Amino acid sequence: MVYSGRYIVKNKTKYKGDFNNVIYRSLWERAVFGWCDNNPKIKYWSSEEVVIPYFYEVDKKYHKYFVDVKIMYEDKTLLVEIKPERETVPPTGEKRTKRYIAEGLNYVKNMNKWEAADNYAKDRGWEFHIWTEKTLQEMKLLPKPVPGKLKKYTPLKPFRKRKRKKKL
């Protein structure tokens, strides 16, 4: 299943930017693009057209952050980042694993990006929001998971090499 692709804008007058080059990087983004395109309350919208410089604390360098969606209503403007809930909270679990370290670095990068985006939005009188799967479910853009439909998660046993029997 393909989770990214080119979104075809239906209301070209509502899109600010190159409407021939709108790329969604997840099915959640595609759902939000469709919602923006069809929502009569939205005056204009754009995807990855706002570029914000941010300082990444790990490598001590400035980077560019492309905000997922900019939504303009009559009375306010929103900058929206679409992320899974697990990327908005600090990592948990065993602290000396590669996974924990990778999640920790990703969390620090996200926090640096979002702090810069929040300051950028406040300087212009806008708002910065992070939409997770819970937000999209409340907006009815994603279906709520049906209890009992998913199998219960059972972790696999750790892999251990078999001991070879000694030959006599």
Catalytic residue status for 83: yes
Amino acid at 61: K
Residue pointed to by tokens 């065993």: 94
Annotated catalytic residue, options 37, 68, 81, 103:
68
Measured CA to CA, the distance from residue 104 to residue 101 in angstroms comes to 5
**Under 8 Å between Cβ of 55 and 64:** no
Residue of 29, 37, 48, 81 with catalytic role = 29
Tell me the CB-side half-sphere exposure of residue 88, using CA atoms within 13 A: 13
Q: Is 165 in the active site?
A: no
Q: Kindly provide the residue ranges of all beta strands, DSSP E only, lying in the chain, ordered along the sequence.
A: 5-7, 22-24, 44-47, 51-56, 61-66, 69-72, 77-82, 127-131
Q: What is the C-alpha separation between 76 and 94, in angstroms, rounded?
A: 43
Active-site annotation holds for 163: no
The CA radius of gyration of the chain, in Å to the nearest whole number, is: 21
16, 43, 49, 83: which is the annotated catalytic residue?
83
Nearest to 24 by CA among 54, 53, 45, 41: 45
Active site residues: 29, 68, 83
